[in-house]
Amino acid sequence: MLRLDPAHPIRRGYHLMRFPGRWKEPLRRLAQARRGGDVASIPIASLNEAITALVPDCVVTLPYAGRGDADQDWLLAYREINPAAIFALVAAWVRAQKATPDQIQLTLAQLNATDLAWSPVHLDLTTPDDRQRAMRLLPMEIAATLSRPDACCTHNNLRFLRCPSPDGAELISWPPERLEDQTPFSVKVGITAQTLPTSEEVLIYLSFGVRRWMPVRGKLASDHGHSVYLAPTVPYLTGLENSRHFGTARIRRTRVTAADGTTAYETRWDDAVAQVLREAGCLDRLPNPVQLVDKPMDYLQRHGDAAALVYSAGMLSNEKVSAGLSVADREPLMTWIATELNPQFQLAIPLPREKCTVYKGLGGAIDGPISASYLRDIVGPRLDIELLTDTEPATRYALDRLATRLGVSAPSPADLDGTGTLLDLGDLTVRIRHIPAPSIRADLERAGRSTRLAVQARIEEVIDTLGAASHPTISLVEIGHPDDYQGRRRGDDPKFAIRQGLLQTGRLSQFITPVADPKRPPRVREGKEPSDANRERFAAAVDDLFRQLGIRPQPLPEPARGTIPRRPALLGIWMIRQNKGQVWGVARQVPVAVLADPTGREVQICAPQVPWQPLHTGLLEIGKRYVEADLKCGPEDVVRFIKDVVDQAIDAYPDTLLLTHAQNLRSVWNTLANSRMQLDALGFGAGDPQPIGKLRGLRHVRVRTAEGGETPECYGVSATETGQPKGLWRFLLGRVYGSTSTKPSTSSGALKGVSKLVPGEHNGKLQAPKAKAQVWNPQFIELTVAGLQDGDCPEHWAALAHDLRDAAPYARNTTILPWPLHLAEQIEEYLLPSKVGTTPSADSSESE
């Protein structure tokens, strides 16, 4: 993380181009002709994308356009780029829009190159007056400095080229590493400018990772494009000057039908930039996409007009380079960058640790049996458990875990049938039954019908086969691995249809992939049971069913002495979003709330038109209410919902901790935005924010994650070494803290000291660079203690939010979000199609 040094201001002269107001109405009409209905904005994002990719010396400062008819600041550049070239790009973009030739010609007739002009502007990027422009320009300034021809990083002599980036800037090292052994990759540096709540200071966050390149022909997906980085020696468009940079475009494997009716697949350039280049008549200046896919190394090794096809998981049978960079590479890169940018930028001083724990003893999954009396309190006197598994081993693994959780001897797989076995637990009766149901678990049958119709048919089959559940019911379903449903088979994935069918019959569900043969013999340790990946997967899947019931095996601990006076209720608010998709064709924007009582053992949820109720019934109600609802709650609706749930929570409990997630909620509740946040106050729509002191016992912690580069990357430093410590850290402002976690068990093989770039020493031995070395880096979670009551200490409530990242009772690793928000986020699985998953998200920060 870098801070601007006020003693060395950054003053620059730029050239400014404004977006002509007289263009807005014809472009709005063009967008309206394509999309129908009332159109208030212009789809300028694709134009900005083309400019960013093809005119690298420009910075786009106007993300939205269309409202009003006035000119608006649009482009900033170091020099005056030929306006005719910019207009040619605009004209090509207009011709690339999906509209009739007459509509396009009518639009072009109302645009003119003379409407574009540059004007000089002088900016001081260190003053608050120019803060908004500085947020876009500072990353560009830094990228330009670090990509100078004479700039060379001493860590493996890396040199960098600039890349287009929608947010901030990006650098890619070039030429690639490891060309000689066909494991090519480049170091990637992301640069963003960020702010902190209630502060005017602009901070620079850097992220480090790798960009992996395809060395040989691999498998291309047919349902999405693949990125290609291009380093041209001459500009693609006439009238532009070339500079040291990467452009980007995407290729796609597309199915085509020949004249004789046969089908085949072709590799083509296919994205907004390619469309603009096609309309500009210069698409043929890009490399031949077929040759690029067939022989990618030929283009990687070129000195001029190089091209690099990005590798992503699944394109090769085995990965040649792992994702991410370890501390061994990040630290010297950070040191070099700080040296190059001195004196205008200074490294932030190391953050001091906040030594406070409120809930001691949290961390790791809570194992052992769950009390039958507690189960009865949550679900009632009867619980049905259904195993829709295919094989005897899968059924056995599930039964073993159920026996552990219920504290009884479970029946054997051979004893189960469709009727089921009743287990009398005293306070509770549990029925376990096995339902093979191969047709329910099979791939979707899409022949001759749309995916939506195939999904609906499967839902009806589930309903007809199983009927309505007469008691609270949880179902474990064994289906194929997500890798089985890639590319052309993506639409065959039955998971979403099965879940919705079970939902309609009153069943909660969790999915598990088949039992797999171990890749290596199990690890044997004295006094411990041999490790078994299948056992661990099935245990996590069964535990997730209890999570959906709202079961917490043990209560949250009492607060440590000298911290907060008593346990608060926990309120998490989450916004579920989905744009129109291929399956349902509906758009959803639905707020949900999770409320846990102070012990954490009674969890309720609600949503608009779904009142507070236990988690297990609420999941069913929310799923039924919103899965087919074309509903987008607007900001006013969301704020009204938030006000209602906050009022209901503080009426029910003397103390309540409200947890929100900045990136998830601020677009509809703008009081969470850095520029609008007021400490110890909450805004609920029109009018002044309400002092939190008038909201009985309410505290508020806003969480911000690394999404969009909005939190800095981190590593621990001591007098002798660097590391990856877990802890709570005091950040740059009094109410802002950082939370980091320890390495999860899934990354036990990741070593912080192994470099991908240079030889290094480990355990006293010299080691060669390891391109395939597993990498894990902790994500820095920002915790802003936004609202307190009189007499509160902010570090206590920050520590509580930090502790709650270890409070998910079935997660063996620290979760990214505190437990109530983690629960709220998982409600999405009942509304949005998603991949098979069996474990909660663990904290990680690996860069690709």
Closest Cα partner for 356 from 790, 748, 785? 785
What pLDDT score was predicted for residue 283? Answer: 85
Phi, psi of 60 (to 5 degrees): -80, 125
Chain segment 432-442, per-residue pLDDT in tens: 999 988 999 99
Residue 846 has pLDDT above 60, yes or no: no
Considering the chain, what percentage of its residues have pLDDT values greater than 70?
Answer: 94
Place of tokens 């740059």: 732
- Binning pLDDT at 50, 70 and 90, where does residue 839 land? very low
CA 680 to chain centre: 29
Task: Specify the pairing of strand 698-704 against strand 716-717.
Answer: unpaired
What pLDDT score was predicted for residue 766? Answer: 81
Q: How many beta carbons lie within 10 A of that of residue 11, not counting itself?
A: 11
Cβ-count burial 278-313 (b if 16+ within 10 Å, e if not): bbbebbeebbebeebbeebeebbeeeeebbbbbbbe
Residue 23 has pLDDT above 70, yes or no: yes
What pLDDT score was predicted for residue 837? Answer: 39
Average pLDDT of the segment spanning 303-330: 89
Residue bearing the bigger pLDDT, 33 or 226: 226
What pLDDT score was predicted for residue 785? Answer: 98
Residue 508 has pLDDT above 60, yes or no: yes
Q: Are 701 and 785 in contact (CB under 8 A)?
A: yes
Residue 490 has pLDDT above 60, yes or no: yes
Residue bearing the bigger pLDDT, 753 or 335: 335
Chain segment 518-576, per-residue pLDDT in tens: 776 766 666 677 778 899 999 999 999 999 999 999 999 999 999 999 999 999 999 99
Residue 835 has pLDDT above 70, yes or no: no
Chain segment 656-673, per-residue pLDDT in tens: 999 999 999 999 999 999
Q: What is the pTM of this model?
A: 0.91
In whole angstroms, give the CA distance from residue 479 to residue 497: 12
Average the pLDDT over each of 584-588, 634-638, 735-739, 796-800 and give the range with the smallest value: 584-588
- Binning pLDDT at 50, 70 and 90, where does residue 270 land? confident
| Average model confidence (pLDDT) across the chain | 89
Average pLDDT of the segment spanning 97-111: 92
Chain segment 187-220, per-residue pLDDT in tens: 999 999 999 998 989 999 999 999 999 999 998 8
Average pLDDT of the segment spanning 387-414: 94
Give me 278's structure tokens.
């096609």
Residue 318 has pLDDT above 60, yes or no: yes
Any idea what DSSP says for residue 480? -
Average pLDDT of the segment spanning 232-260: 79
Average the pLDDT over each of 157-161, 227-231, 557-561, 569-573 and give the range with the smallest value: 227-231
Residue 597 has pLDDT above 50, yes or no: yes
674-680: long-range contacts (C-beta < 8 A, 24 or more apart)?
674/195, 674/196, 674/197, 674/198, 674/199, 675/195, 677/197, 677/198, 677/702, 677/784, 677/786, 678/198, 679/198, 679/735, 679/786, 679/787, 680/786, 680/787, 680/788
- Binning pLDDT at 50, 70 and 90, where does residue 54 land? confident
- Binning pLDDT at 50, 70 and 90, where does residue 833 land? low
Q: Are 169 and 337 in contact (CB under 8 A)?
A: no
- Binning pLDDT at 50, 70 and 90, where does residue 39 land? low
Q: Which run of H or of E encompasses 87? A: helix 83-95
Residue 95 has pLDDT above 50, yes or no: yes
Residue 301 has pLDDT above 60, yes or no: yes
Residues β-bridged to residue 333: none
Chain segment 690-712, per-residue pLDDT in tens: 999 999 999 999 999 999 889 99
Average pLDDT of the segment spanning 90-104: 91
Residue 320 has pLDDT above 60, yes or no: yes
For CA atoms 783, 789, 790, 791, the dihedral sign is: negative
Considering the chain, what percentage of its residues have pLDDT values greater than 90?
Answer: 61
- Binning pLDDT at 50, 70 and 90, where does residue 630 land? low
What pLDDT score was predicted for residue 522? Answer: 67
Residue 738 has pLDDT above 90, yes or no: yes
Residue 62 has pLDDT above 80, yes or no: no
Phi-psi region of 426 (alpha: psi -120 to 50; beta: other; left: phi over 0): left
